[in-house]
Amino acid sequence: MEFTLIPDLVPQNRHAVIKVYVSRKWIFRGAMDNGPIHHIDLVLIDKEGHGICAEIPRNLAEEKGSIIEENKIYEISRFRISSARLMFKPVHMDKMIHFTYHTIINASLDTPPAFSRYVYHLTPFDQLESYIQKNEYFLDVLGVITQVSALKPVGTHTQESSNVIKEIIIKDINDITMRVTLWAERARAFKLENVYDPLEQKPIVTLFVGCLAKNFQGIYLNGGTACRWYFNPDIREAAPYYQRFESQKIKLHISSEQEQLYVTKETNVEHKTLHELLELHPYAFPKQGYQCTATIIEVPTTSRWWFPACTKCGRACKPQNGGYYCPYCKSEAYILRYKLTFMGSDGTATAQMFCFDTVAQHVVGRSCETVLKQVTEAAPIPPDLAQIVSLKFTFRVTVSNQTFSQREQRPTVLQINSIVAVHGRQRSLPKGIQTIIDQGPSTPNKEATLKLLKESPSTSMERLSTKLLTDVGRKLTYSTQAEDITKSQILDAPQETNADKEVPADKDKEIEPNLRSPPKRHKQEPLIIKDSTEPEHRQE
Ligand SMILES: [Zn+2]
C-alpha cells in the first residue's frame, strides 16, 4: 500500500492514506486545564520524520480518540486537511489534519523502527522571552538538567482538582538557565530514576517539547498536558552538549523521599480530627504537631491577612510616618506577606486556622502582593482570597503561639506548618459542623471587623499605587491582629523555607502599636516579591 507523506497532503485530496507514528496525544481544554474538552490533539510523524498536528473534535473524542494511543503506529484515512490553526501549534507545519465521522483508524501491525519518535523546533533560551503570552506555537527547548524539585502541592485559581508541580532547571550550552514547570500529571510523570545514576552523576541532556513561555517573577516554561520530554536524545543539536558535558558530573537531588511527604502521609505525624485537636491541652501537642484534614469554610473578613515584612530580617515592620519601619534593621524596605486566617472544618468541629506566607501562597495560589492588588474599596475581599473557600487540605498543625499566653486550656487557633496533601475543591462543605471555637478574646468584635473590612490598608495600598495618599482621616484599629503578627514575624524570615515554624519567645515583647491612620508608604518604589522560585500557580 502506498502511503501519502505528510508534506504531500493537500486539502483537495480526500483519498490520502497516511501511516504515522503517534508521537504525542493530549486533551486540549483551552486556557483552563479543568475546562471542558475542546478537542484531542495529536502529533503524527510519517516515516520520513515529518510531523503534523491532528485534531479530534470534542464530539468524536470518545469514539475516535479512544482508539488512538501515544507511541503507536496507525494507518489513517478519510480525514480532512486544512491550514494549520493560528494558535497553539505543536509543530511547524502549515497544514493540519481533522478527524471526522468518516475517519478510519487502523492500528498498524508492523512497527518499523525507522519512525522518528518526535519532531521539534528548538528555540534558543535567549529568545524565549519574546514568546511570552504569544501562544502561536508550543515551544521546544534543549538543555542539561541541573536541578529537579520535589513535587510541590499547589492551589490554583482556575484549577479545582488537587494539583502538584515539579520544577526543573535546565541550562543550555552557554550556561543560560531556564525553569521548566511541569503541572499535575506531567509533574508526576517526570521521573529520572531510570536515566540518572546518583553514583555516576552523568549529565542528562533533555529535549522538552510542547512548552509555553510564561512570565512570573521572570520567564519560565510551562509544561502542561502538551509537554513531553526526551532524555539524551539522538539529535544533531544535542551533539555539542554531549561533547561539552561528557566528562562533567552534575549532582541531582532526586527527591523521591521528599515526594513521599506529599504523595503519602508523613508516618510519624498522627492524624486527628479537629474535634480531637480542639479538646487537647495546648501542651499536649507534640513538637511535630498533628495532621488534620479540613475544608476551608470561611475566610473571616475580620482578620488582616497580610503584614509588612522587613526585606532584610523578615520581621513585621512597624508603621511610621505613613510607611513601615523595621526597628531591628533600621530599614524602611518591606514586602507584604501573608498571615492568613480562615475557618476550617472536617465535620467534627470548626477551627480557626492560620498560616504564614509559604503555606498561604500554596493555599491561595498567588503571592500576597498580587492578591492585594485586587483589593478595591468596592470589593475589599479579593476574589483570589474568596475562592479558597471549599478547598480541602491535609495540614500539619500545631497550636498557635498566641494560645500559650492565654488562659484557655484548649487551642484557640491552630497554626498550619505545612500542607501534606491537597484534595481540591469540595462540592459541599462539611455537614453537622459544631462550632467549638467562637469569637475568642483574640478575635476582633464585629464592629472592628467591619471597619477593617471597609478600610483595610490594602485599600490604601491601592490608593498608593494611584498616588492618592490623602485619605488618612479614618480610624483603624489593628491591635488584635498586631499581636499575632509581631509574634509571627521571625517565621517569615526571607531565607527560611520552612519559615512557618517555632516562634522565639523574646519576640513577644514587640507589639505593634495601634494604627490610627491607614499605613502608607512615602516611597513609590516597586514592590518586591521575595521568593523568586515561586511559580505562578495557575496553568494556562
Ligand atoms: Zn528587619
Instruction: Give average pLDDT by consecutive 10-residue segment, the chain, 540 residues.
Output: 92 92 90 75 95 95 90 94 94 95 90 83 95 92 93 59 81 94 90 85 95 90 95 94 90 62 55 94 88 92 84 85 87 89 93 90 86 78 87 91 81 88 83 42 34 34 31 29 30 31 34 32 33 36
Residues lining ion ligand 1 (Cβ < 5 A) are: 310, 312-313, 326, 328-329
- DSSP for 52-87, please give it: EEEEEEGGGTTTTTTT--TT-EEEEES-EEEEPPSS
Cα(277) to centroid(ligand 1), Å: 35
Cα(327) to centroid(ligand 1), Å: 7
Cα(307) to centroid(ligand 1), Å: 13
What local confidence, expressed as pLDDT, does residue 431 receive? 64
Cα(227) to centroid(ligand 1), Å: 42
Cα(512) to centroid(ligand 1), Å: 14
C-alpha 299/C-alpha 283 separation (Å) is: 27
What local confidence, expressed as pLDDT, does residue 1 receive? 78
Cα(311) to centroid(ligand 1), Å: 7
Cα(269) to centroid(ligand 1), Å: 34
What domains are there in the chain, each with its CATH number?
A: 6-107 (2.40.50.140), 125-257 (2.40.50.140), 265-509 (2.40.50.140)
Cα(490) to centroid(ligand 1), Å: 10
CB pairs under 8 A, 24+ apart, for 451-457?
Answer: 451/475, 451/476, 451/477, 452/301, 452/302, 452/303, 452/304, 452/476, 452/477, 452/478, 453/301, 453/302, 453/380, 453/381, 454/377, 454/380, 455/518, 456/304, 456/375, 456/380, 457/304, 457/515, 457/518, 457/519
Cα(56) to centroid(ligand 1), Å: 57
What local confidence, expressed as pLDDT, does residue 481 receive? 34
Cα(335) to centroid(ligand 1), Å: 11
Is the Cβ–Cβ distance between 108 and 46 less than 8 Å?
no
On the 0-12 / 13-18 / 19+ scale of CB atoms within 10 A, 31 is exposed
What local confidence, expressed as pLDDT, does residue 255 receive? 58
Cα(362) to centroid(ligand 1), Å: 25
